[in-house]
């Protein structure tokens, strides 16, 4: 039965991927990429990888679709149609694809317990993580503790992306150009947005509360800093969409927002440095407290908080800087 569901989901995935390449309307393409991510999230759920599914649903289907749409408000809605075919490119793509498929023949079968990846460090993590780290969600203990360096790297990547976007888009402000995302101003559009405003007033607190739950429940169930940050940012972006950018900027002034982007990453790296100064290795949280598991808990809590703060503020400031630019 599960294989049947897999097949249907993968078939949908191929259809959506082809549709993404064929569609010329860029709004439709943005929504289709969201659908693609949602299907991927379903496949991850079927494979019991709920943490990854959660991230894919929140990041891929949720926030990146919103960021795509915010980008599209600055550009055109339609892709230029190409009427000639580039046979060389087709041949290259087919050759590369064929080589990759040929390469997969040598790989271990799907779900093979004797595959090298299941024989390397994974058994050790599964055996000792409940006693060594003491966190019920094994994904969190691998991601935040055993693989703390990698996660620090990922957080730095997000930070760097945010810096690049801000450097490229932040130059405009002093001209006072009209924003692409103006809040409802006149009487009529105020009334049109009435239902949305009432609805969002009920739901934004719940969204933010859910984000905090995901943040601090990550040790016990699926969730953690990445998902929580994205959900928190979604709440703020919803507020900006309904009430206008100016009011959202009034709630979180850009200088505080940009400060928090750096603060999250510094909190992460600082936790690592603290454990270095308390007779441990870099990011070896057991040094943070007298008892090893207490130290691990504290360290994971702090670095997840750092990740959450950075991700939430990065997403928010990328959205603000895209939608804050005037329509050219």
Partner 1 sequence: MDSIIHYASWFLLSTGAFFCAVGGLGILRLPDFYSRQHAAGITDTLGSSLVLIGLMLQSGLSLNAAKLAMILLFLISTSPVATHAIAQAAKQSGLKPKVSAEEDEA
Which residues in this chain contact partner 1 in the complex, by CB under 8 A? 189, 192, 195-196, 199, 202-203
As measured in angstroms, the least distance from the Cβ of 24 to partner 1 is 19
| Residue 173 or 192 having the CB closest to partner 1 | 192
234 vs 257, which CB is nearer to partner 1? 234
Pick between residue 31 and residue 163 the one whose CB is nearest to partner 1: 31
Least distance to partner 1, CB of residue 135, Å:
21
CA dist 1 to 5, 7, 11, 53, Å? Answer: 6, 10, 15, 20
Return d(Cα 103, Cα 110) in angstroms, integer.
14
Rounded to a whole number of angstroms, the minimum distance from the CB of residue 243 to partner 1 is 14
State how far the alpha carbon of 217 is from the alpha carbons of 161, 222, 269, 315, in Å: 27, 8, 22, 21
CB of 199 to partner 1, least distance (A): 5
Instruction: Write the DSSP assignment of 247-313 as a string of letters.
Output: HHHHHS-HHHHHHHHHHHHHHHHHHHHHHHHTTS-TT-GGGGSSSHHHHHHHHHHHHHHHHHHHHHH
Burial 203-215 (b: 16+ CB within 10 A, else e): ebeebbebbeebb
* Residue (108 or 136) nearer to partner 1, CB: 136
26 phi and psi angles, rounded to 5 deg: -70, -30
**Shortest distance, CB of residue 189 to partner 1, whole angstroms?**
8
Q: In angstroms, what is the minimal distance from the CB of 198 to partner 1?
A: 9
Instruction: Give the nearer residue to partner 1 in terms of CB position, either 149 or 203.
Output: 203
Question: Which phi and psi angles does 55 have, rounded to 5°?
Answer: -60, -45
Residue among 120 and 201 whose Cβ is closer to partner 1? 201
């Amino acid at each position: 039965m599960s294989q049947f569901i897999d097949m249907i989901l993968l078939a949908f995935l191929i259809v959506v991927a082809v549709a993404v390449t064929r569609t010329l309307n860029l709004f439709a393409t943005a929504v289709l990429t969201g659908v693609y991510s949602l299907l991927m999230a379903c496949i991850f759920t079927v494979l019991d990888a709920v943490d990854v599914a959660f991230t894919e649903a929140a990041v891929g289907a949720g926030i990146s679709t919103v960021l795509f749409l915010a980008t599209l408000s600055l550009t055109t809605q339609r892709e230029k149609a190409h009427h000639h075919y580039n046979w060389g490119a087709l041949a290259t793509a087919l050759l590369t694809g064929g080589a990759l498929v040929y390469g997969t023949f040598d790989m271990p079968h799907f779900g093979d317990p004797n595959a090298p990846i299941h024989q390397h460090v994974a058994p050790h993590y599964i055996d000792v993580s409940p006693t060594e780290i003491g966190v019920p969600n094994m994904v969190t203990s691998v991601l935040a503790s055993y693989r703390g360096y990698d996660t620090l790297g990922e957080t730095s990547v997000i930070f760097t992306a945010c810096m690049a976007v801000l450097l490229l888009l932040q130059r405009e402000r002093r001209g006072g150009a009209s924003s692409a995302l103006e809040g409802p101003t006149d009487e009529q559009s105020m009334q049109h947005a009435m239902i949305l405003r009432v609805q969002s007033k009920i739901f934004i607190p719940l969204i933010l509360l859910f984000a905090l739950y995901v943040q601090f429940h990550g040790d016990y169930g699926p969730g953690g800093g990445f998902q929580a940050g994205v959900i928190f940012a979604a709440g703020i972006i919803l507020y900006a969409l309904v009430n206008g950018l100016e009011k959202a900027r009034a709630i979180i002034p850009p200088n505080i927002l940009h400060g928090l982007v750096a603060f999250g990453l510094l909190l992460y790296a600082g936790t690592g440095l603290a454990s270095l100064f308390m007779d441990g290795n870099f990011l070896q949280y057991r040094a943070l407290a007298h008892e090893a598991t207490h130290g691990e808990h504290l360290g994971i809590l702090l670095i997840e908080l750092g990740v959450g703060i950075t991700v939430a503020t990065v997403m928010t400031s990328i959205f603000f800087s895209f939608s804050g630019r005037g329509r050219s």
